[in-house]
Structure 1
Amino acid sequence: MEDGGLFRRNCLMRILILLVGLFHGAEAREYQYAPAPVDNPLKGFVPYVESARNADFPCAMEFRYFALDELMKGWGRYDWTPLEATLEEVRGRGRQLCFRVYSEYPGKGNRVPGFLEDEGVKVVRWEGDNTYEATNYTPDYESPNFRKAMKEFIAALGEKYDGDERVGFVTIGLLGSWGEWHNYPRNDLWASKMVQGEVMDAYEEAFQKTKVLLRYPAGKNDSIYESNSERSFGYHDDSFAWATLDTGKEEDGWYFVPKMKKAKAEDRWKRQPIGGELRPELWESSFTSKPHPKSQDFAKCVEETHVSWLMDSGLFKAGLSQERRQNAEAAVRRMGYEIHLASAKVVDGQLVVEFENRGVAPFYYPWPVELLVGEEKVDPGWDLMKVSSMEGYQALTELPATWEGQPMRLRVKNPMENGRPLKFANKEQGDVWLELGEF
């Protein structure tokens, strides 16, 4: 959310643009809306890397879990090979990677680095409940050595990958089953608020550029979680459309929207991204004519959470029906951003444009906007992150002296090599450039 001074300056700038345009009688050229591509960057449905290799549904990102023991080999010793190999594979398909590092994952054995066990970190083996019948190995999160290891690992991870253009988003992980910040039903094994705070502190310090998402919103009086509502994280709802909306029932207070409300974090989406995963029980029936009886209204979940991306493995299996594909594509276009160039005009040698966002969330990274006037490149300095889903964004830039009669084009370049460009929701959008025409 803009601070007061910045908001006032933006308002004054917009008023000035309007007054200048009226005084000089400049007429704006309007541009036609057309749905943006389903695989626009940094939004939409996300398959696991293994599913993405033969994915039949368009996507812009892929997801993978990494175990702590495969990346951390000792104090100050790391093996980034598994992460690097995955980043390069995903980049080769023109996509960005979302990832999470875990220290325990039901059914995948003991993933606590061996050197920590050798130094006395205890690991508890236990069996899951009827929902997740798998063997779990939970480290002692209160152990000084384990806490030290997590902080050192996060610092090294951030030094290596913060701002890496191949990375879309990072989910915090490290604590709890699947790195999902709970050990249900063994709540006695869950990390204390002190440990949670240390992990969050480490991530905030290590990641200044890449967006990091946390599982559960929590305010100052949360009984389980250390307060995070004033931190610089987004959130991910991993039970999306199953336990998302507020039912008003006390037993459903752990659902995502009521937790957001209780934490007073309902407006977090304006500054930080919301992601997550469609609940696994919904994978087989999502976007079909026979939804799961326990599923919540997907469109309403999108509207209330302002979600940008979701994992849904059911969409990336062979044999996707045409009806299901069309329904899912329509859902993607509402998720995250969908930026439409509404109008443009030239006033006293300055190009004045107005953007609007037809999605539910902003674009969260400062990707460069490029303007081509004839054959001359212009850096307009426009910030698409200011195009919220609540209001438009007017901007202007000085044109070169030879602008008259020259065709103008606009694009947002993906800073990742081989990355697909961000495309506008315009009929005038080409394969790369948005055609503004001549003025």
Structure 2
Amino acid sequence: MPRVFYVLILVIGLLIPSAFIFQAILARQRTFSPVLAGTTTLAPTEFAPTTQVVNPLTGHFKWQAMTSTTTNAGEPLQAQIEPALDAYDRWTWSELESTPGVYKTGASDPIMQAYNLAVSQGRRYAFRVRLMKSGSGSGTFMPSDLAVAPYGWRNPAGGWIPDWNNTTVLNRFEALMSHLATRFDGKLAYLDIGYYGSYGEWHTYGIDYSLPAARGFTPITQSSTYRIVDHHLATWPNTQLLSFVANEDAVKRALNATHTYPVGLRVDSLGSSTDWDNALHTRHTASVQALIAARWKTAPLVAEYWGDRGTNSPIFATAQQQIVADHVLAVSNGNFGTWSSFDAANRAKALENGRTAGYRFVLGAVDVPPLTAGATHTLMTRWHNRGVTPVYTKWDVMWQLHEPGSGALVWTSGPSGINLRSLLPTGTTPASFSVNLALPRTLAAQSYEL
């Protein structure tokens, strides 16, 4: 049988179910040629920590900017080296259903238009559906037939506050989400569990239930909360769901549920030392706080900045500490004010936020025996995760042989069985995985790039 020589560690193809193909953080680099007898250890040069590595569901996501009708309160990061590979929007109910049971379709369907745009740009897409915006603000964001008594009330600014516990409102919202699930379940990066509260964030900031107009109305009850959470779980079985943490009944129900993907967390106060800490560390009972604290090991925490805090506010420096301490997977590239209002130091810290969030895999070394065509060989691989989270999507690590120089693909392995989801941040100690490569008998004896 011919002996196969190799020159180099090269490409690790990471495949996700949506059929996007992304490269890991290893660059092509020649290390030696050819291998002599015996096992040889390959140790690729690691990218510098300041090198931006763009992969799906890690680092920055494109925030509120997929369609021209979306109001973007902050500019996207203008200094990102490469575009984010995830895009996110928030939609109000009235944008999706103008008359009872009649949902927007075709060119008038904003979610499908945004989804198609994201996919055409090589991105994955995520969204939330909400019933209102600011609790003290103006505007009606419900279908017109539900923006009348007895389905809610108006605040002094003229804003419509829904009756969260009304059976008709609940039934109609569930019908909307069921309709959306038939079109998007299994196709999204994630879906926020929306519906309740200001901005759909499951808090009632700005809503004053002591007003005369609010007489007879209450915040959401536990039974209505369970109904909304359970409906998302049942209707979106193939989608990563995210729960806001403001409401204890909701987050406890979601995190204790059995789902294809353990429900993750959404926190929209990144960069606020008080609101962030309250949301994640002090708001809830001890048992729920324990659930929240451990969730990053199995499900993502996605965060959005706190909003415009003024010129050169310390929002990015505070966020950097929170990203590391609480294991944030992805952060918005907007909702912090205008990029031009920050000096160079703050802009650099904003970009550091994106580089730090999420996972960052490094193949530290591979022990490779002499390779022979037609035989199965065991490689011992040693990996680091320099990030702050694992990866939460199943990726298959595959190995390829390429022609030296031209880079022409000669052979690709099947999935090698390395479970990257098990690779938590490793610190200085790498995680080891053995890989069995069954080389084809027809492989010519020569040097290859691996």
> In the alignment, which residue of structure 1 is the partner of 2:300?
273
- Of residues 95, 101, 104, the one that matches 1:70 is 95
> In the alignment, which residue of structure 2 is the partner of 1:313?
335
In the TM superposition, residue 149 of structure 1 has moved relative to its aligned partner by: 1.5
Deviations 1:268-301 (A, max 9, x none): 0111100121111437435xxxx26xx8833331
Q: Does the C-alpha gap of structure 1 residues 225 and 245 become closer, same or farther in structure 2, counting only changes over 3 Å? A: closer
> In the alignment, which residue of structure 2 is the partner of 1:110?
140
Deviations 1:26-54 (A, max 9, x none): 34312222145353321223332165997
- In 1, Cα distance between equivalents of 2:177 and 2:276: 34
- In 2, Cα distance between equivalents of 1:176 and 1:32: 49
- Of residues 40, 52, 64, the one that matches 1:48 is 64
> In the alignment, which residue of structure 2 is the partner of 1:369?
397
Q: Does the C-alpha gap of structure 1 residues 276 and 246 become closer, same or farther in structure 2, counting only changes over 3 Å? A: closer
- Of residues 365, 384, 404, the one that matches 2:420 is 384
- In 2, Cα distance between equivalents of 1:322 and 1:162: 41
> In the alignment, which residue of structure 2 is the partner of 1:332?
354
- In 1, Cα distance between equivalents of 2:367 and 2:251: 51
- In 2, Cα distance between equivalents of 1:385 and 1:225: 23
Q: Does the C-alpha gap of structure 1 residues 318 and 41 become closer, same or farther in structure 2, counting only changes over 3 Å? A: farther
- Of residues 276, 279, 299, the one that matches 2:320 is 299
Q: Is the 8 A contact 1:245 1:296 kept in 2?
A: no
- In 1, Cα distance between equivalents of 2:191 and 2:268: 14
Counting matched residue pairs gives: 362
- Of residues 29, 32, 38, the one that matches 2:45 is 32
Listed as ranges, the gaps of 5+ residues in structure 2 are: 1-36, 210-217, 370-375, 403-409
Q: Is the 8 A contact 2:378 2:434 kept in 1?
A: no
- Give matches, 1:159-198, under 5 Å: 159-164=182-187, 167-186=188-207, 188=209, 189-198=218-227
In the TM superposition, residue 109 of structure 1 has moved relative to its aligned partner by: 1.6
Structure 2 residue 423 is matched with structure 1 residue 407: no
Residue 236 of structure 1 aligns to a residue in which SS?
strand
Q: Does the C-alpha gap of structure 1 residues 364 and 244 become closer, same or farther in structure 2, counting only changes over 3 Å? A: farther
- Give matches, 1:16-165, under 5 Å: 26-34=39-47, 35=49, 37-46=52-61, 47-49=63-65, 56-58=78-80, 59-73=84-98, 76-80=101-105, 81-106=109-134, 107=137, 109-116=139-146, 121-127=150-156, 135-164=158-187
- Of residues 224, 230, 233, the one that matches 1:204 is 233
In the TM superposition, residue 341 of structure 1 has moved relative to its aligned partner by: 0.9
TM (norm. structure 1) is 0.72
Task: Give 2:64's aligned amino acid.
Answer: Y
Q: Does the C-alpha gap of structure 1 residues 242 and 125 become closer, same or farther in structure 2, counting only changes over 3 Å? A: same
Deviations 1:219-259 (A, max 9, x none): 6xx6x976443133211111123146887xxxxxx432234
Task: Give 1:110's aligned amino acid.
Answer: T
Q: Is the 8 A contact 1:218 1:228 kept in 2?
A: no
Listed as ranges, the gaps of 5+ residues in structure 1 are: 1-23, 128-133, 248-253, 409-436
Higher RCO (CA-CA < 8 Å; seq separation 6+): 2
In the TM superposition, residue 89 of structure 1 has moved relative to its aligned partner by: 2.3
